[in-house]
């Protein structure tokens, strides 16, 4: 009896603690929200026009409505058939089943009770029916159909029974066992996330206290040997007695921080390259504020690539380098290579592209957010500060995989009341960076909206017309089969633009995991094919599958282009003094 009394007292104490925390957070949050209240802009997503067109097209063809209704009826009849067999204890296949990668219904509790099993299947049938009808929608352009399909999927994923207390058996069981304390913890964590976002919901994806940049993440030894207002240049310390003559310069995207390539020793691409005997230099872009609002696309080439090349020559005595460009860093590298070709500058001897787009005609679902009306709305938003908040860009990317990157954490954090697990990649994903006004608006309009980089002279840098077809140095192009940000059919198009010796390699997994796939993990695999037909599906049809990481394949490609081995260089040995230890101060801002 005494033990039960102590247990009750402990539960009440925990309850009181949570209520106190919630009260304090609620008050602080209301003050913050009152300071940043803004009236909503009407239709900022530009959905009204295509939605009205689609509705009008459907109304004018009643047979389509009847066909859609009958298709849904057939689906529910199959569910009734399943119910009948299940009621009499006869085994039968379900009317609908979640995809293997769908983590929403992986708990066995969804199958244990008939009510939740039926609820799950009814939802899957209906959501699939909605998306099928949108995919067959007539009377709208392909771009508008993609936009409607994207937001219909967002709507369907938001309505999943897994997202609500009363329709999620795992949440109900947890709530019963914990007497509702999980929901109080979840509400408190919701308030904490809104406080962290200054009134905007920034869902915690990992335990942020578990990582510290430079301490247990981004720890490969090296030194900052050069810096300007745009970037720091890091030279990594060798781990081999000899190194290749030709240095390697990595140009990461400025949409995120560079240490995606240096998470932890076990999955660091930078450490892998250093261990292979390359003298590795990496650009660490600054997190820009309003002072850099007028920085242009070519300023990233001048203050980034060109100043890095000059610094590398001073540090090593070597004029010629190999390069890697990742995502938008690769787009910048491609444009810069064409500029250098026009000027007769041959310092870059080879280029590797990670998940890089140069022809944006099939750029995937990111184009949903980019049309003339949305860009004008974004322009007004950016001009108020001179930059785009990193949180806004992060939410855009998360919406592309809302089921995994939004709703999974809503259920875990706010309904089950659990703290998210420690995961280095998701820590990096939440380490947002801002984007300067002039460069970002130029990039979205000229690349994504108007696709001008692919045209001969479509864009100019320093007054020089850019033509990617003049790039005639050796090129290695990496893409990922499940990439939702830079789809492989879009990345593949670069093979048809450049004119040098080109290798295309398709990795398993997506935009990040497809790149960060160390050999020790023995995951995903990759495909190669020496032929480069115009259609990427023809390339895949003739490709050879390989097990494990593609990193050794790239190493074998690059080492023949890196010169002889010489005594390894230490940062500071050349004409550039050491400024500070890697990963530097810019990445921590």
pLDDT tens, residue by residue, 29-48: 444 544 444 444 445 566 67
* CB contact at 8 A, 25 and 192: yes
Percentage, residues of the chain above pLDDT 90:
70
In angstroms, rounded to a whole number, what is the distance separating the alpha carbons of residues 226 and 314?
Answer: 10
Rg of the chain over all Cα atoms, to the nearest angstrom:
27
Task: Work out whether the CA dihedral 245, 503, 281, 290 comes out positive or negative.
Answer: positive
Q: What b/e string do you get for 498-533 counting C-beta neighbours within 10 Å, with b at 16 or more? A: beeebbbbbbbbbbbbbbbbbeeeeebbbbebeeee
pLDDT at 33: 42
Query: Helical H runs in 384-501?
Result: 390-400, 402, 408-409, 424-429, 437-443, 488-492
Looking at 311, 327, 332, 394, which residue is catalytic? Answer: 327
Q: How confident is the model at residue 326 (pLDDT cuts 50, 70, 90)?
A: very high
Q: Does position 484 have pLDDT exceeding 60, yes or no? A: yes
Q: Are 364 and 485 in contact (CB under 8 A)?
A: yes
272 versus 430: the higher-pLDDT residue is: 272
Q: Looking at the chain, how many residues does it have?
A: 589
Using DSSP, state whether 534 is helix, strand or coil: coil
The reported pLDDT for the residue numbered 19 is 53
Task: State residue 439's pLDDT score.
Answer: 96
Percent of the residues in the chain that have a pLDDT greater than 70, as a whole number: 90
Instruction: Flag whether pLDDT at 325 surpasses 50.
Output: yes
Half-sphere exposure of 157 (CA within 13 A, CB side): 21
Structure-block tokens of residue 39 = 């009236």
- pLDDT for the residue 402: 84
| pLDDT mean over 204-210 | 91
Window from 116-130, 308-322, 388-402 with minimum mean pLDDT: 388-402
Q: For the domain 222-384+457-588, what is the CATH superfamily, name and number?
A: Alpha/Beta hydrolase fold, catalytic domain (3.40.50.1820)
Distance CA 93, CA 582 (A): 57
Give the per-residue pLDDT at 417: 94
CA distances in angstroms from 52 to 49, 68, 142, 475, listed in the order given: 5, 18, 15, 46
Domain boundaries, the chain: 57-179, 222-384+457-588
**Burial of residue 424 (number of CB atoms within 10 Å: 0-12, 13-18, 19+):** buried
Q: Is 185 designated active site?
A: no
pLDDT at 42: 47
Q: What is the DSSP letter of 435?
A: E
Least-confidence region, from 137-141, 268-272, 457-461, 573-577: 137-141
pLDDT in tens, 407-418: 999 999 999 999
Give the residue among 369, 298, 370, 284 at the shortest CA–CA distance from 326: 284
Three-state SS annotation for 286-314: CCCCHHHCCCCHHHHHHHHHHHHHHHHHH
CA distance 83 to 382: 54
State the pTM of this model. Answer: 0.88
Q: What is the pLDDT of residues 101-116, one digit of tens each?
A: 899 999 999 998 999 9
Q: What is the mean pLDDT of residues 145-171?
A: 91
pLDDT at residue 217 tops 50: yes
Peptide bond into 490 cis (omega under 30): no
Which of 58-62, 198-202, 226-230 shows the lowest per-residue confidence on average (mean pLDDT)? 58-62
Which has the closest alpha carbon to 450: 378, 365, 377, 367?
367
Average the pLDDT over 370-387 and give the result.
89
More confident residue, 543 or 53: 543
């Amino acid at each position: 009896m005494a033990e039960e009394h102590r247990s009750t007292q402990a539960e009440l104490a925990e309850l009181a603690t949570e209520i106190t925390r919630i009260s304090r957070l609620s008050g602080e949050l209301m003050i913050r929200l009152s300071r940043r209240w803004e009236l909503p802009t009407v239709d900022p997503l530009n959905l009204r026009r295509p939605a009205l067109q689609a509705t009008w097209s459907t109304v004018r063809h009643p047979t389509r409505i009847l066909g859609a209704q009958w298709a849904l009826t057939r689906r529910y009849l199959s569910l009734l058939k399943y119910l009948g067999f299940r009621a009499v204890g006869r085994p039968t296949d379900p009317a609908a089943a979640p995809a293997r990668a769908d983590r929403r219904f992986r708990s066995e509790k969804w199958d244990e009770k008939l009510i939740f099993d039926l609820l799950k299947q009814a939802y899957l049938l209906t959501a699939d029916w909605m998306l099928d009808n949108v995919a067959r929608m007539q009377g709208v352009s392909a771009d508008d159909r993609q936009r409607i399909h994207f937001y219909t999927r967002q709507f369907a994923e938001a309505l999943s029974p897994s997202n609500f207390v009363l329709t999620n058996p795992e949440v109900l069981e947890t709530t019963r066992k914990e007497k509702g304390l999980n929901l109080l913890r979840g509400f408190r964590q919701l308030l904490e996330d809104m406080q962290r976002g200054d009134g905007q919901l920034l869902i915690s994806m990992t335990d942020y206290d578990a990582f510290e940049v430079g301490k247990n993440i981004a720890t490969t030894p090296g030194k900052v040997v050069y810096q300007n207002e745009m970037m720091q240049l890091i030279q990594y310390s060798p781990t081999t007695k000899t190194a290749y003559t030709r240095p390697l310069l990595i140009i990461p995207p400025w949409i995120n921080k560079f240490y995606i390539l240096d998470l932890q020793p076990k999955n660091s691409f930078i450490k892998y390259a250093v261990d292979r005997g390359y003298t590795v230099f990496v650009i660490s872009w600054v997190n820009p504020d309003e002072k850099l609002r007028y920085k242009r696309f070519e300023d990233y080439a001048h203050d980034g690539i060109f100043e890095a090349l000059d610094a590398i020559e001073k540090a090593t005595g070597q004029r010629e380098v190999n390069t890697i460009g990742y995502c938008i860093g690769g787009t910048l590298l491609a444009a810069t290579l064409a500029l250098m070709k026009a000027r007769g500058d041959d310092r870059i001897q080879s280029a590797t592209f990670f998940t890089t787009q140069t022809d944006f005609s099939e750029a995937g679902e990111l184009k949903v957010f980019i049309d003339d009306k949305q860009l004008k709305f974004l322009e007004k938003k950016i001009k108020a500060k001179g930059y785009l908040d990193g949180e806004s860009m992060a939410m855009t990317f998360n919406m592309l995989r809302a089921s995994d990157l939004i709703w999974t954490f809503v259920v875990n954090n706010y309904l089950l009341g659990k703290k998210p697990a420690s995961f280095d990649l998701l820590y990096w994903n939440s380490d947002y960076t801002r984007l300067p006004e002039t460069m970002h608006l130029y990039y979205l309009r000229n690349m994504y909206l108007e696709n001008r980089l692919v045209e001969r002279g479509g864009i100019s840098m320093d007054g020089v017309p850019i033509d990617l077809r003049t790039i005639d140095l050796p090129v290695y192009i990496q893409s990922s089969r499940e990439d939702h940000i830079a789809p492989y059919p879009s990345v593949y198009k670069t093979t048809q633009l450049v004119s040098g010796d080109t290798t295309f390699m398709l990795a398993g997994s997506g935009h990040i995991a497809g790149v960060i796939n160390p050999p020790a993990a023995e995951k995903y695999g990759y495909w190669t094919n020496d032929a480069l037909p115009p259609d990427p599906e023809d390339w895949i049809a003739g490709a050879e599958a390989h097990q494990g990481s593609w990193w050794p394949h790239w190493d074998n490609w690059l080492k023949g282009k890196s010169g002889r081995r010489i005594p390894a260089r230490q940062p500071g040995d050349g004409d550039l003094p050491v400024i500070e230890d890697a990963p530097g101060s810019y990445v921590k801002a």
